[in-house]
Structure formats: structure tokens, C-alpha cells
Chains A and B, each alone.
Chain A
Amino acid sequence: MDQNIPQVIQTVPLQYYVFFATALFSIGVLGVLTRRNAIIIFMSVELMLNAVNVLLVAFSAFRSDPNGQVFVFFIMAVAAAEVAVGLAIIVMIYRNIQSTDVNLLSRLKF
């Protein structure tokens, strides 16, 4: 374990990270589009965010540029705040309509 993290990351070829991140992102998109439970949609969104994070870390390691990793920290901090707000909204929705099915929320139209 005397190797540092970037070196560990570089043991896997870059393409694999790209494929992995793309797969993760696509799963997220599909989850958002197909599921009706607000919590699951929310989880899928997190999946998409983390796909991007993986990609950022991988590129950062391969290019020896720490900016990417710093950026990931910010994304994680903002995502944490966003989860707090999002979950609060979902709780309020549940209290109002006793369900978290987004299809029931169709009153917002002209």
C-alpha cells in the first residue's frame, strides 16, 4: 500500500472508466425515465451525479491534475445539500397526498 491513489487508479485503463461511467449514467437516466416513485427517481439522479464524479476523478488521475478531484469534493458537498432539500420536498409531498408517485403530481399545468 505504499502506492498513492492516482497510481492505483492508473492501473486500470482509462477507457474502462469511461465505459463504466457511461453505463452508470445510462442506468441513472433510465431509472429517472421509467420509475414512478419519487425516491427511486432521486436515487437515479444521484447515480448520474456520481457517474460524472467517477469520470472526473479518473481524468484527474490520468492527467496528474488535482483540479478534477477538488471539483468532485464540491459536487459532493452540493449534492448533500440538494439531497436534504429534495428529501424534505418528498416528505412534504407524502404528507399531502399519502404517496410518492410523481404521476399523481399533475396539477401544475395551465
Chain B
Amino acid sequence: MRHMLRMTLVLLPHQPMQETVIPAAGAPYSTFLYVLIPLLPFLGFLINGLLNRKLSATVAGLISSAAVLGSFAISVFLFLNFQYQYTVPLFDWISVGTMQIPFSYQIDQLSLIMLLLVTGVGFLIHVYSMGYMAHDENVGKFFSFLNLFVFSMLVLVLGSNFLILFIGWEGVGLCSYLLIGFWNKNTAYNNAAKKAFIINRVGDLGFLLGIFLIYLTFESVQFAEVFQKASLGQFGSYGPEVVTVITLLLFVGATGKSAQLPLYTWLPDAMAGPTPVSALIHAATMVTAGIYMILRANVLFTLAPDTLEVIAIIGAATALFAATIGLAQNDIKKVLAYSTVSQLGYMFLALGVMGYSTSLFHVLTHAFFKALMFLGAGSVIHAMSNEQDMRRMGGLRKALPITFITFLVGCLAISGIPPFAGFFSKDEILLHTFQHSKLLYGVGLVTAFLTAFYMFRLLFLTFFGEFRGTEQQRQHLHESPASMTLPLIVLAILAAVGGFMNAPFFLGEENAYLSNYLAPLFTYSQKINPAAFDLAVDHGTELMLIGLSVGAGVLGILFAYVLYMSRGVRPAEEGAPRGFLDNLVYHKYYIDELYNALLVRPIMWLSRGLYRFVENGIIDPIVNGFGRVTLGGGQLVRAVQTGSVEVYLLLMVVAIVLVMALNFGKF
């Protein structure tokens, strides 16, 4: 594959490039319309933030929901009237010497799909939050943060260069931090927020270095320019290897934001935030930013097959690794968190095997069913009076019928049971992987089995069997209000039928709406590596693969059924004796402890050493020295200030005479 790539690279400059991907046409609507998309949530943030305690909970929720709904409406309008790709210039942002970075929006298939996803799912979760957060004392603060998040995410998605993307990238990171630590009276939650923020910084460093290198290589950070130059093989003063370095650095950024090995540990801890936050930020939208970024830069990644190999391996490893941890978790949100990490692994696996549109397809279906399941879990937690341990639940399907049915749809979707959404996207990923590498396909298949198992373990433990909570909790059990169940129902419908937006190949090439719609994004990539886009697979193989993956899902469900329904196995309590493997998985392979010992503690030692020897030994004496010199000088001079007017007058006269004498003494 690499050999062929070299050949195409040589050939490319000679090929006519008339059919450019971005036609030189302006925006068809007024700039104001585009500005309004991120501006509305920002206004919501300002109103709710400034009038924090003045607005009632309902009004705050309505304002921010309306803001996101407005953005959603504009996005739908743009989506329906989309004709061609264009950029919307807003203003010249950075203009230093030869460096020109405009602030402009990019409107194309990718940004439109992401706009719809962020505002659509975002709106549903805002509505849900009105019910879920109704009893919280800081509702205004919550909604203002949520709106700020939507604003940052929209900036991230709309930006037409890497720098604007980076602004949004950091903005969503900040909001993630603020919302994980939303209940800031709990130290553990604050630590989780700090952990998320710091681990993301590690990834961001890679991303930032990648952007610097892009600028050095292509002398621009504007998407259109960079990708055109890259596809023509113009790497400035560097050789083609620079693309591999750039893409690896960008991928480091993506592993941080999208919680891949080895930087995934923050995401499970991020569940400290309110559940709607987990659904919106840590499942549906923000964590997919890394995938969005790689899709955006797909030309660069196609030029670097080595990086793609790394991405595929890390994706598959993360998918399997997180799935195994998910098997033994007892916190309902932790299971979903590890499941998210695992599904993100799938998306990266798809990227790594160049199933670009497939990856976005999974982003969309995953957003539907994972948001659905998180909101369902929120509904359960709400009903259980903030209990999150599945060992204290059970038999909830009678008390929470709507939550149960919608949750069941989500579980079926993530387990890849046809015709639910997850089946189509997961199947497409596995198909692409199968063509690329049989080993990675095997990993994906095992993960599919594990996913089905732990999701139905969760379902059976929560909704079936006898109730295991306290009597007080049993009294309190109730179905959630309409503002919470309505988003659940909408998401359940999407999770059920969303898969048909990209029907599999055996149903006909023309029914793959999403792939066809997205195809123009990958024109350059297709030119560079046409073979990867040519999915020559006969229907027999495809049907066999579908059979295998559905079989894996069904097998997982059956296993869970036998274990938790027929045999009635219950997860062991805290401190119960465990086997070696069980113990290892239950403690998440001791990764957190390993990071603590390898990184956190040495850094703390270093900091303490620096504090003791550099801060206390060098910097403090210097600063204090300045203070002491000033103080001593003052002590000396203050002797003159006797308070006697006569002395002052005498000194004044003497001084004036001296000034005169020195000035005019020449006469």
C-alpha cells in the first residue's frame, strides 16, 4: 500500500487539478445568519451567567434551550439548502508579516452534519436538563455553562482553519472542566475535573505542536490551502515524511480529547458531573472532537499510512481494553463511560482503516444511543434518589416503563442488533476492518461480543429481578417528568431508525445516503489512495460478516441472560474476595495507580523539590531582599522627618540656595 502511495504522489502534480473541491463561490446568505449559529448559545450563556440567581430555574432552562433550538433551526435551514462548499469570511484575525489568518467559517458536508448533531442532540439534552436539574440550587450556572459548551463546540465545528478549531477545542475542554466539577463542594468531583483538564493538556500539547508544524510546512493553517498543498505534494522545505510527524502529533491531541489509550483515564472520572453533562459532553459531542479533527484533516492522514496503522491499532486496543473494564463495573454511569471509550475506539479503528464516512456514521449513531442511555441512566438515578450503584437497583422496569423501553432500544442499538442504528455503523466498521486486517477484525468482533454482554448485564441488573435498594428508595420510585421522558423517546426513535441514513452495501449503493453525501470531502484522499475507497466486497462475504457480528451481539446478550437472569448472579460487594482476573478488571487494570506511581508522584516530588530549593532558596530571598533594602533605606531617611516646621523651612531654604548656587554658580 505504501509503495503505491509513493507512486501516486509522484503522479499527482501532473494530473489536472481543475476540478477543485472548494468552488470559488461566496456564501449564499448574509454573514449574520452564520454568526447567529454560535452567537445564540453565547447570548444564552451571558444572560444565564450574568443573571445567575435572578432567573427562576424554568426561565433559565427555557432561555438556553431556546438559544440552542435557534441554532438548530438555522443549521437545518443551511443543511436543506446546501448546494456547494464555501467559507464565510468574518474578519482578518491575525495579520503579522506574511502570516495571514482570517477568522472565517467553513460550511461543508462535515460541518453541517456536526452542526446538526451538536445543536440537535444538544437541544434534547437541554430540555432533559430542565427536568433533571430542576431541584439544583445553581440551575442558572448550569445552563450558562451548558450554553458556553454548545458555543465552543459550534466554533470548533465551524472554524475554517486549525487555529479556530483549536479555540473551540480549548473552549470545550474548559466547559468540560467546569461541568465535571459543577458540584464543587465535593473534593472528589473537583479532583476528577482537574484530572480531565490536565490529561487533556497533554493531548493539547501534541495538537498545538502539530499545528505549528503544519504552519511551518504549508505556511498556512487554512484548511483549504493546507489540504490542497498537501495533496499536490508541496511540503515546503520538508520531505513527505513530515506528514507522518504532523499526523502523529494531531493524533496525540485526538487521543486526549477522545479518550483513547493511553490518555483515556479522565473520561470515566468525568462521570462526576451531572448526568446530562455526561450525555452531551462526555458521550455525544465533545469526545468526538478528535474524530472530527481527523476527518477534517483526512488528506494529511491519507498521506501518512503509518499513522493510520497506529490509529487503527490504538483504536482497536482501546475498544477491547475499555470493554473488558466495563464488564466488572457496578456504577451505572461508569459502565456507560467505559462503553463510550470503547465505542470511540471503534471510531478510531474506522479512521485507521480509512473508513472515514463510516467513522462519522458511528459518531452519529453513537451520539443517538449513548446520549439516550446516559439520559436513561439519569432518569434511573433521579428515581433512585441519586443512587448510582447497580447492586442497589433491580426490577425498575415496572416503576420506570418509558425509561426501560427507551433504554432497551439503546442497548439493542449498541449491541448491534438489526435493524437498530448501532448495527449498521458497527457493521460497516467491521467490514472495513476485515478488508484491512483480519487480526483487528477479530479484536472488533470480540469487542462487539463484550459490548453486548456488559450492556445487557447493566440492563438486567437495573431493570429486572428484585429491588435491592432501601425501603426509602422504593417509596420514592417514580417515572421522570415529561421534560425528561420526551428527549428519551425522541432519541430512542433516532437510535432505532438512525441506521437507515447509511444503509449497507447489499441494499444498494444508492441507499448509502450518508456516504454519498460525504463523498466530496474525501476527493483528495481518494485521489491519493483510490484503493482504500474501493470496497470491492461481494455480497456473500458481506452477509457472512453481518452474520458474525450479529451472532457476537446475540451471544453476548445470551451470556448476560444466562448469568444474570437464569442463574441470578449478583455482582460481588466491595471487599469480597475475587479471583486474579476479576480483581484486575474490577480495579481497571490498576492503570490509575500505575499513572500515579509513574507520573503523578514523581511530578509531585519534583514540584516539592523545586518549591523547597528554588522557590524558598533562591526566588524568595531575592524578592524579600528588595523589600528589606527598601525598608532599611526608609529607616535611614525617616530621621530627617522630625516634624519640626523650623527645620523643614531651614532645609528648604538651604536646598533652594544650593540649587541656585549649582545652577548659576558660573557667574
A positions within 8 Å CB-CB of B: 29, 32-33, 36, 41, 102-103, 105-110
Contacts and interface: CB of A to CB of B under 8 A. Distances in A.
Interface stretch (B344-352, B398-406, B533-541, B642-650): B642-650
A109 to B, nearest CB: 3
Nearest to B652: A32
Interface in B630-667: 638, 641-646, 649-650, 653
Contact of A110 (B638, B644, B646, B649): B638
Contacts of B649: 32-33, 41
21 contacts: A29-B653, A32-B653, A33-B646, A33-B649, A33-B650, A33-B653, A41-B649, A102-B646, A103-B644, A103-B645, A103-B646, A105-B643, A105-B645, A106-B642, A106-B643, A106-B644, A106-B645, A107-B643, A109-B641, A109-B642, A109-B643
Interface string B177-189: 0000000000000
Contacts of A102: 645-646
A108 B645 CA distance: 9
A54 B642 CA distance: 36
A108 B653 contact: no
B643 A36 contact: no
B658 to A, nearest CB: 14
A107 B638 CA distance: 14
Given A32-B653, A103-B644, A110-B641, 17 more contacts: A29-B653, A32-B649, A33-B646, A33-B649, A33-B650, A33-B653, A102-B645, A102-B646, A103-B645, A103-B646, A105-B643, A105-B645, A106-B644, A107-B643, A109-B642, A109-B643, A110-B638
Contacts of A107: 643
Contact of A108 (B643, B646, B650): B643
Contacts of A33: 646, 649-650, 653
A109 B642 CA distance: 6
A110 B649 CA distance: 18
| Nearest 6 Cβ contacts at the A-B interface | A109-B643, A106-B643, A102-B645, A109-B641, A110-B638, A106-B644
A32 B654 CA distance: 13
Interface string B40-81: 000000000000000000000000000000000000000000
Contacts of B645: 102-103, 105-106
A84 to B, nearest CB: 21
Interface string B614-644: 0000000000000000000000001001111
Interface of B: 638, 641-646, 649-650, 653
Nearest to A107: B643
B492 to A, nearest CB: 78
Contacts of A106: 642-645
A103 B647 CA distance: 10
B624 to A, nearest CB: 22
Contacts of A41: 649
Contacts of B643: 105-109
A18 to B, nearest CB: 14
Nearest to A38: B645
A87 B650 CA distance: 22
Most chain B C-beta atoms within 10 Å of own C-beta, residue among A32, A41, A105, A107: A32
Contacts of A32: 649, 653
A22 to B, nearest CB: 13
A110 B644 CA distance: 12
A36 B649 CA distance: 11
A29 B644 CA distance: 17
A108 to B, nearest CB: 5
A36 B638 contact: no
A107 B642 CA distance: 9
A36 B641 contact: no
Nearest to A102: B645
A33 to B, nearest CB: 6
A9 to B, nearest CB: 25
B634 to A, nearest CB: 8
B641 to A, nearest CB: 5
Nearest to B635: A110
A107 to B, nearest CB: 6
Contacts of A110: 638, 641
A108 B638 CA distance: 12
A41 B649 CA distance: 10
B642 A36 contact: no
A107 B643 CA distance: 6
Contacts of B646: 33, 36, 102-103
Contacts of B653: 29, 32-33
Q: Residue among A32, A36, A110 with the most chain B CB within 10 A?
A: A110
A32 B638 CA distance: 24
A106 B645 CA distance: 7
A6 B529 CA distance: 105
A105 B644 CA distance: 7
A52 B45 CA distance: 69
Taking each of B641, B644, B653, which has the highest tally of chain A beta carbons within 10 Å of its own beta carbon?
Answer: B644
A105 to B, nearest CB: 6
A103 B642 CA distance: 11
Contacts of B644: 103, 106
A66 to B, nearest CB: 27
Contacts of A36: 646
Contacts of B642: 106, 109
A108 B640 CA distance: 12
A83 B650 CA distance: 22
A102 B644 CA distance: 8
Nearest to A108: B643
A24 to B, nearest CB: 16
A2 B642 CA distance: 58
A53 to B, nearest CB: 19
A109 B644 CA distance: 9
A29 B645 CA distance: 14
Nearest to B638: A110
Contacts of A103: 644-646
A103 B644 CA distance: 6
Nearest to B657: A29
Residue of B638, B641, B642, B645 contacting most chain A CB atoms (<10 Å) = B645
A100 to B, nearest CB: 11
A103 B645 CA distance: 6
Contacts of A105: 643, 645
A29 B638 CA distance: 26
A91 B111 CA distance: 81
Contacts of A108: 643
Nearest to A109: B643
A19 to B, nearest CB: 17
Nearest to B643: A109
A10 B348 CA distance: 105
A74 to B, nearest CB: 22
